[in-house]
Amino acid sequence: MKERIILAIESSCDETAVAIMRGDKLLSNAVSTQISMHQKYGGVMPELASRLHTENIVYTLDTALKDANIKLEEVDTFAVTRGPGLIGALHVGLQAAKTLALLYNKPLIPVHHLAAHIYASEFVKPLVFPLLAIVVSGGNTEFVVMKKHLDFTTIGETRDDAIGECYDKIARVLNLGYPGGIPIDRLAKEGEATYKLPSPALTGYDFSFSGLKTHVINLVNNTKQRGEEINVPNLCASFQKVAIDAIIKKGLKAAQEYKVKQVVIAGGVSANSYLRSEVLAKFPKIGVDPAIPPLWCCTDQAAMIAKLASYLYDEKVFADYDLGVDPNWEIEDFREF
């Protein structure tokens, strides 16, 4: 039997990405990142992101097809990130996918970006249910429980900023560049957690990262005004510890309450070395298997969109060609579009 070929497109934030899968095999995974173009603003400029996606999409599509040695006529279905994400950025990928699906008269699969981040883990090992997914990225911080494939329940989330946003804005005030996660992660290893900072933990499995972010920004500005020095490695270590410890503590509690067998970490912040080592050290002690995706599939790419699309294809989760984006798409509503 001929194995189906999925071409997936991702453009929800600052990466234009196209991946191609044949059956379970990833044939190509082209990513064109815009990070250097947003660096001078200390964060993603939404309007600029949309324009750069428009410039990069054809080249990225071409690269993915060449790497996979596949022609567009051979593709069985086109999958695309429909949300959540930046509205203008999402539109570019969606228009490309719709055009291709219409042109080749093939099914169009709308994919939820966060659900796809969880499925990225399947490039390493199969998902084992029930599982807890800790989704931590530049735009989201969510605890999701899955009892089976394509079954998502959000049990907790941030009520304001995402943890990645907190990393990026703290890095900006410390002049560490964008994205802030990597330099803070590196400097934290050279420092000690000597600063007392407020925990982002709220009741249940919810978080608030904006209080922690503002506290650190004010601390830096006030210290500078007094003409005193900030110990940057110590501040990075203190921030990272209070932020990640809160995630780990709630994660362990949720894993026990929901009797999960596996914990999956997903999203850009899951590249964090302290988060990874804490998950590896603490979850096996309560009998929970950690699924830690390799770094290449932690940040945004389209391989994860193709991976989740393969499950959606089997369930015929197809959209009409007049599909629109949804920047605030809830994970539970992944079949509604």
Both tokens of 198, joined, read 């407020």
Residue 155 engages ligand KG4 in binding (rule: CB under 6 A): no
H or E element that contains 104: helix 87-104
Distance in Å, CB of 299 to ligand KG4, minimum:
4
Of 15 and 250, the one with the shorter C-beta distance to ligand KG4 is: 15
Single residue of 83, 156, 191, 268 touching ligand KG4 by CB under 6 A: 268
Both tokens of 263, joined, read 């914990």
Backbone region of residue 202 per phi and psi (left: phi > 0; alpha: psi in -120 to 50; beta: other values)? beta
Separation between Cα atoms, residue 92 and residue 225, nearest integer Å: 44
Q: Dmax over Cα atoms in the chain, in whole Å?
A: 72
Residues across the chain: 337
Of 169 and 250, the one with the shorter C-beta distance to ligand KG4 is: 169
Single residue of 37, 182, 202, 220 touching ligand KG4 by CB under 6 A: 182
Close Cβ partners of 144 (under 8 Å, ≥ 6 residues apart): 114, 118, 132, 133, 135, 152, 153, 154, 155, 331
Both tokens of 296, joined, read 């290449």
Residue 180 engages ligand KG4 in binding (rule: CB under 6 A): yes
Distance in Å, CB of 167 to ligand KG4, minimum:
4
Residue 88 engages ligand KG4 in binding (rule: CB under 6 A): no
Residue 57 engages ligand KG4 in binding (rule: CB under 6 A): no
Of 64 and 271, the one with the shorter C-beta distance to ligand KG4 is: 271
Candidate segments 98-106, 246-254, 263-271, 283-291, binder of ligand KG4 by CB under 6 A: 263-271
Separation between Cα atoms, residue 271 and residue 265, nearest integer Å: 9
Site string for ligand KG4, 271-310 (x = CB under 6 A): xx--------------------------xx----------
Separation between Cα atoms, residue 235 and residue 275, nearest integer Å: 17
Distance in Å, CB of 162 to ligand KG4, minimum:
7
Contacts with ligand KG4 by CB under 6 A lie at 13, 137-139, 164, 167-168, 179-182, 185, 267-269, 271-272, 299-300
